[in-house]
Structure 1
Amino acid sequence: MIELVLIGIGTGHPDHLTLQGVRALQEADLVLIPMKGEDKEDLAGLRQQMLARHGARAVLAPFDLPRREADDPDYLGAVERWHDAISRAWADQIAQHLPGGGRVALLVWGDPMLYDSSLRIAARLPVRVRVIPGITAIQALCAAHAIPLNSLASPVTITTGRQLRDHGWPEGARRVVVMLDGACAFRTLPASNLLIWWGAFLGMPQQILDHGPLEEAGPRIVAARAEARAAHGWIMDCYLLARPD
């Protein structure tokens, strides 16, 4: 029997790992380390720092993460094929390192339940799945700016950059959290009468923050994001948009 433990590690800061997550790492027999594109050494190194810091003694299994067909007009079909390929990569590593069964851990940026596909990929495998939550990017964003997520007695909408770009401001929303936005979709919105709180590398030494009226802060964020991505080879960010109360 293989148990796959998906461990949320927040936005990458070693302290975002919970005590429950630390125990799971220490009990793991194998840790999968995805290597992704230009940023693979940096992100893999952060994962390995966490493992070393918390005394994990598991076998480390780096593997090249398959790429999604970015230009395929069939977006959902391309994602499904991508997930199939990732599940095969996981299965290959598990079969190679744990032919007799055991406990496998995967460190997941953010939280496995929120705009992350680890659970959908794991469902393709004959394994028992356990999830350990971590600090979400949304928590880290609000903490960094010292702001509440919601306005008084009002709901919050969570969406993606793709949805914001294709469908505009969600109907009836007062506050909107936007994730997975590699193209700064806030530029497609009328900038007047909107506020933005943005953060990248949240909780990490290279953390970058900006906030203010969208028409003023938006251009600064676009420039800062491009500069940071060029400097690091990767960037993880999210932001909160709000109509003034």
Structure 2
Amino acid sequence: MERMHGSSARAKPAHARGAGQHLLLVVHEPGVAELLSTTLELAGYRTALSGTGGEALERLAEQRFDLMVVDTALPDMASLARERPVVAHRPPVLVLTEYDSLGDLVPELGPGERDYVTKPFRVAEVLARVQVLLRDAHPEHPRDGALSYRDLVLDDTLCKARRGTRTLDLTPAEYRLLRHLLVNAHRVLSKEQIGQHVWGDHRGDNSIEQLVSRLRRKIDRDAPGLIHTRRGFGYWLGHADAEH
């Protein structure tokens, strides 16, 4: 396994945190996969792992990801150039490589944004490249410390939220719920998870339904709905046409 320079502790300084964006890590070596997944999740991203290129292509066909991190040390790396994956969404790709040229790397993973980091890599550089790729490919995602999804923006510095040009008048509980939904965009949260995050315990009455209903009225008034119910499972935030 390649020896990594630095550590997740050194990656903490000035990089903007993620807001629950879903990253697919295509890495064969367990140590590298663990390092990347742990660091990225601590930085606010969600991660999924694939150990081969073939498995990654299958996951791309089944699920939407915001970004891929691909290690050129994959055992079936050469086969990726011959595949023609049919996917509805081609995410930007960050390539981990020992080479200085990106031209021949993973040519069929999509015509979109691509960048690379040479190995042995520093975790801080991976975080920085991920941030830039996501910013360029998904302008609705957070910048300058704010959490956002499309025209919905939450500013932790001022503890304020807005939808488009409309300022939202939120209670502290509504603010905590909105933040939890934003951080976990496109992910269904159970009533138990919401209760623990908002109040520190699970409430068996209809408190959560009422809280979600109040927030939904404020968020989705005169605008496309972003807060949705998955009956029997919980609630999620995102565009109605998005996979989650």
* TM-score when normalising by structure 1: 0.28
Q: Which has the higher helix share?
A: 1
* TM-score when normalising by structure 2: 0.29
Which has the bigger relative contact order, CA under 8 A and spacing at least 6? 1
